[in-house]
Amino acid sequence: MSLLVEEKLEKLVQGGTETLTKRDLTDALSMGPSIDGLLARAAHTVLLRTLGPGVCPTGIIEISNSCQKNCLYCGLRRGNSTLPRYHMTVEEIVSAIENGWRHGIRSFLLQSGELLGEAHAGSVVEVLRRVAGRWGDEAGMVLSIGELPRRTLEELGKAGAHRYLLRIETSEQELYNRIHPKDGLHRFGARLQCLADLGETGWQVGSGVLVGVPWQTVESLASDLLFLRDRDIDMCGFHPWIEHSDSPLAEYRDLAPEREARVRLTLRMTALLRLMMPDIDIYATTALQMLDPDGPEKGLLHGANVLMPGLTPSKYRLNYRLFDGRTAVPDDPGRVMAAMTARCSAIGRKLMPGEPGDPLHYIRRILSVRAGG
């Protein structure tokens, strides 16, 4: 059976349109290292053929580390009383966007823990209005601020954001329930409903999966890939699980793959999704870089096409600790962009600032709907 996967990958390299089955996916995820070179070559070839060598920088601004939730793997969880909490003001957020803008960044991700209530959504709406008033459509705004009611999503969309990332973490309900508290606030069905609401209210929808958590199997990861394809997402990011010492899941680290294996699985997930969805945007996540200094390059060589320069002011950055080991980076987008440009050039790719960064998958989807397809 493993030969069959390898044959399919070779055909994809040659321009074929083979479909990967669940069995192919589980085989590719569980095989030894011999599959890695071919998998990367196939994903990178398909990426270059579909999207070209360009890499879009999406500046990330972590606008608040407060969260009403208590996910068992996360350092921002409500129950972590050791973490100093912060909320950036509207002025600070706009200033961070301006800082990225000066260095050519046109795509911005505002990220926070999940906060219901008027104050948080209201300040995001205010930021979006100011950005729209100043830069119009030239700034592409992405939000990742948790599960929100449909009417709030509509309000945020009207204010000028058009891309939303809502990570599913796992598409397997049983595993979801193991890594979240059973308190009525962390409901798998509510997560699915919010993803559906995002699609129905016109957002470009992104999601993502945690890779290498305790109890996760390759069958579960294969199901995640099929879930993302069936949801017809526009964007995705895979995070290798990194323990946070103040999170309950850290106690179960012995049940997880070694860190090196988590990186390998994350890269394989990236490559397989690229082969399944050639025109979506795939993020090389900061978590990947945390476990492997060459993570960004490896992510790009396995099919990713988005890098995420950090624009969070340094006085806040170290307190956005989803996991252990977060380190300071230069508070200078110019240096960060120069380093990213060099990383891309070294592997024959090209950092392309100056684009608001709408995924080709979304553009094709909209054109297809307009054409009645």
End-to-end CA distance of the chain: 36
Nearest residue (CB) to ligand SF4, 75 versus 295: 75
The verdict on 77 binding ligand SF4 (CB under 6 A) reads yes
The verdict on 114 binding ligand SF4 (CB under 6 A) reads yes
The verdict on 237 binding ligand SF4 (CB under 6 A) reads no
Nearest residue (CB) to ligand SF4, 32 versus 184: 184
Length of the chain: 373
The verdict on 69 binding ligand SF4 (CB under 6 A) reads yes
| 331's tokens | 């508070």
Pair 253, 227: CB distance under 8 Å: no
CB of 237 to ligand SF4, least distance (A): 13
Nearest residue (CB) to ligand SF4, 113 versus 303: 113
Contacts of 96 (CB under 8 A, 6+ apart): 59, 61, 88, 311, 312, 313
CB of 83 to ligand SF4, least distance (A): 11
The verdict on 326 binding ligand SF4 (CB under 6 A) reads no
CB of 113 to ligand SF4, least distance (A): 4
Nearest residue (CB) to ligand SF4, 77 versus 162: 77
With CB under 6 A as the contact rule, the residue among 20, 56, 76, 195 that binds ligand SF4 is 76
Nearest residue (CB) to ligand SF4, 39 versus 67: 67
The verdict on 165 binding ligand SF4 (CB under 6 A) reads no
The verdict on 71 binding ligand SF4 (CB under 6 A) reads yes
- Name the one range near ligand SF4 by CB under 6 A: 70-78, 214-222, 257-265, 362-370: 70-78
Pair 97, 47: CB distance under 8 Å: no
Pair 56, 306: CB distance under 8 Å: yes
Quote the CA–CA distance of 3 and 9 in Å, as a whole number.
10
- Name the one range near ligand SF4 by CB under 6 A: 72-80, 126-134, 217-225, 303-311: 72-80
Nearest residue (CB) to ligand SF4, 179 versus 228: 179
CB of 247 to ligand SF4, least distance (A): 9
Nearest residue (CB) to ligand SF4, 116 versus 363: 116
The verdict on 113 binding ligand SF4 (CB under 6 A) reads yes
The verdict on 74 binding ligand SF4 (CB under 6 A) reads yes
Nearest residue (CB) to ligand SF4, 113 versus 295: 113
Nearest residue (CB) to ligand SF4, 21 versus 66: 66
- Name the one range near ligand SF4 by CB under 6 A: 28-36, 67-75, 311-319, 336-344: 67-75
- Name the one range near ligand SF4 by CB under 6 A: 20-28, 74-82, 118-126, 300-308: 74-82
Give the residues lining the site for ligand SF4 (CB under 6 A): 67, 69, 71, 74, 76-77, 113-114, 146
